[in-house]
Amino acid sequence: MDLDLPDLVTQAVPTPIRRAGERALEKLFKVAKRFPILRNRIEAEYEKVLDDMRTSMRPYRDEVPRHVKLPSEGRSRESLLEEMRTLKAKEDDRWADGFVSGAVYHGDAEHTAFLDQVYALNSQTNPLHADLWPRVAKYEGEIVAMTAQMLSADKVTRASDEVCGTVTSGGTESIMLAIKTYRDQAQADRGVTSPNLVMPITAHAAFDKACESFRIKPIKIPVGEDTRAVIAEARKAVGRNTIAVVGSAPAFPHGCIDPIAELSEIAYDRGVGFHTDACLGGFVLPFAERLGYSVPPFDFRLRGVTSMSADTHKYGYAAKGTSVVLYRSKELRRHQFFRATDWPGGLYASPTFAGSRSGALSAACWASMVSMGEAGYTESTRQILETADAIKHGIRQIRGLKILGDPLWVVAFASDEVDIYRVLDLMGHRRWNLNGLHKPASVHLCVTLRHTQPGVAKRFLADLAESVEDARRQPKDKGGMAPVYGLANKMPVRTAVGDILAAYLDVLYEA
């Protein structure tokens, strides 16, 4: 697959114009799509990408029935269950055997079976109707309280501090709720009508999603060679329209913790909020610190930290679909709530974006946390960090690879000698599902309990070493994701990359 969309736009454009910069190329690309010849060539290239996507995302198209309309007669429950068992069996081995970065964070059969039982017991519950299912309110209140204590809620000092929060559907909702809360607080308390959010370029894309959704201007600050936010740039970026500053613990791309203490102090001095995104690290870092690892302060011990997000469905080992957003005070949290006092349907209030939700997911989250306990989380963290240490040591022995920053367990690596995206493809041929990263071009492995199984780390390092050597011997190949990642990393025309992503989302919903 030969993807060279920049050439499709610029091949007939004079050199001086091509040098005008990325914005000019964006405009040229949009104009080019209006002309039939260029538009047809661009669409043809898109179709090549889409064909690969359809093949990878619809592998069962010819194996099981397709339903594009309701069947005239319903199928038997047993036949549907059998079909689902068949598809499940085709997908389980890869993640169960530890070939996947992140995605499944626990995966032990007994733990999963336990959560399935909890879910079944609570499948009809809905937190929106706390009068019918008060047990779900108990579960959610205790989830928030346990998470808050884990993140140093007992160490706050101001009389007005009372760390509180809500259960959400995942890290993206936790982040979006926090940013919506800061927007509304800034407008109510300071009259801010043109809000901006200061964040490192490595902050999770959910912050961009929040900015786009709530009409907030994102102000991106760079990271240094250590992949951590540059403090001086943050200090310059905060202004009178800033609603909050963001730091990650750790950042998803490279697994390194931003200088939360320094960044949150800047926010505190300027009188704005600070959000620690601990979606990935909230259930690891407190126990890593207990185990003696060097963990810089990142939680409510810091006076400038006014909110945090922590994903229970990652290293909290709950079922997918829960997270926690925490605030330093109830006064701040109230800006998150939605209330309707004059609706003909009655009084209505909801704490998060959703109205009706699955109480079963909250029950499974509570059960996971209580069954794990501090000892369970400490032991799982020990296994993960020891495995990550072995993997980091092994990567450093592979000629041509370098680790970015100084991560604990999310290990990003790059290369100045081989095409790292070609290595990514070759690891895919060996069944590994890793994360491709941009700026710089790199790949990461997010270590989970699946990787702590005997032999998994050793197999990963052996396959990685072979993939690097194969990439050295045969740097180019047809197909795979290497051309797509390479295109997205180098292409100045971001509209084209966005079009490819939109096409990918279209394909997801094809029947």
DSSP assignments along 380-449, one per residue: HHHHHHHHHHHHHHHHHTSTT-EE-S--SSEEEEE-SSS-HHHHHHHHHHTT-B-EEETTTTEEEEE--G
Domain extent for 491: 5-57+487-508
Distances (CA, A) of 493 to 29, 490, 496: 7, 9, 6
| Domain shared by 181 and 326, yes or no | yes
Contacts 24+ apart (CB under 8 A), 227-233: 227/202, 227/251, 227/253, 227/254, 227/256, 227/404, 227/405, 227/412, 228/200, 228/256, 228/257, 228/258, 228/259, 228/405, 229/200, 229/202, 229/258, 229/259, 229/263, 231/259, 231/262, 231/263, 231/266
CATH number at residue 202: 3.40.640.10
* Residue that the structure tokens 């509209």 belong to: 495
Distance CA 285, CA 115 (A): 24
Dihedral sign (CA 363, 367, 373, 378)? negative
Look at the chain and report how many structural domains it folds into: 2
pLDDT at residue 400, rounded to an integer = 96
* Residue that the structure tokens 């995605």 belong to: 103
pLDDT at residue 50, rounded to an integer = 74
Distance CA 199, CA 220 (A): 5
- Listed in sequence order, the DSSP H helices in 97-230 are 109-121, 134-150, 171-190, 205-214
| Domain shared by 169 and 293, yes or no | yes
Distance of CA 420 to the CA centre of its chain: 21
* List of residues 6+ apart from 323 with CB closer than 8 A: 167, 168, 169, 170, 171, 173, 174, 279, 309, 310, 311, 312, 313
**Residue where a domain stops, chosen among 301, 336, 371:** 336
**Bond preceding residue 253 cis, omega within 30 of 0:** no
**Residue where a domain stops, chosen among 336, 357, 378:** 336
* Residue that the structure tokens 């900015």 belong to: 211
Within a domain: 106: no
Helix (H, G, I), strand (E, B) or coil at 450: helix
pLDDT at residue 376, rounded to an integer = 98
For residues 315 and 287, is the Cβ–Cβ distance under 8 A? Answer: no
If you ran DSSP here, which 8-state letter would residue 101 be given?
S
Strand order in the sheet with 442-446: 402-403, 410-414, 442-446, 435-437
Within a domain: 231: yes
* List of residues 6+ apart from 498 with CB closer than 8 A: none
Token readout for 336 is 């998150």
Within a domain: 206: yes
Distances (CA, A) of 224 to 205, 221, 227, 259, 469: 19, 10, 5, 11, 30
pLDDT at residue 482, rounded to an integer = 55
Distances (CA, A) of 465 to 395, 400, 471: 8, 10, 10
Burial class (CB in 10 A: 0-12, 13-18, 19+), 344: exposed
pLDDT at residue 157, rounded to an integer = 79
Within a domain: 346: no
| Domain shared by 297 and 182, yes or no | yes
pLDDT at residue 16, rounded to an integer = 42
| Domain shared by 46 and 187, yes or no | no
Distance CA 415, CA 475 (A): 13
**Residue where a domain stops, chosen among 336, 353, 378:** 336
pLDDT at residue 348, rounded to an integer = 94
Distance CA 338, CA 351 (A): 6
Within a domain: 248: yes
Distance CA 27, CA 29 (A): 5
Nearest to 44 by CA among 77, 72, 4: 4
Nearest to 305 by CA among 192, 467, 163: 163
Distance CA 124, CA 328 (A): 33
Within a domain: 281: yes
Distance CA 327, CA 305 (A): 9
Distance CA 162, CA 275 (A): 16
Q: What angle do CA 81, 124, 350 make, to 5 degrees?
A: 130
Distances (CA, A) of 241 to 185, 196, 205, 270, 306: 12, 6, 21, 11, 18
| Domain shared by 51 and 197, yes or no | no
Instruction: Give the pLDDT means over successive 10-residue stretches in the chain (511 positions).
Output: 40 41 55 63 69 80 90 95 94 92 95 98 96 97 98 88 96 98 98 98 98 98 97 98 98 98 98 98 98 97 97 98 97 96 94 96 98 98 98 98 97 96 95 93 97 98 98 76 55 63 79 82
Within a domain: 198: yes
Nearest to 282 by CA among 381, 395, 390: 381
| Domain shared by 44 and 170, yes or no | no
Within a domain: 397: no
pLDDT at residue 472, rounded to an integer = 94
SS percent in the chain: helix, strand, coil, step 5: 50, 10, 40
Token readout for 159 is 């009389």
pLDDT at residue 24, rounded to an integer = 55
pTM above threshold 0.75: yes
pLDDT at residue 48, rounded to an integer = 73
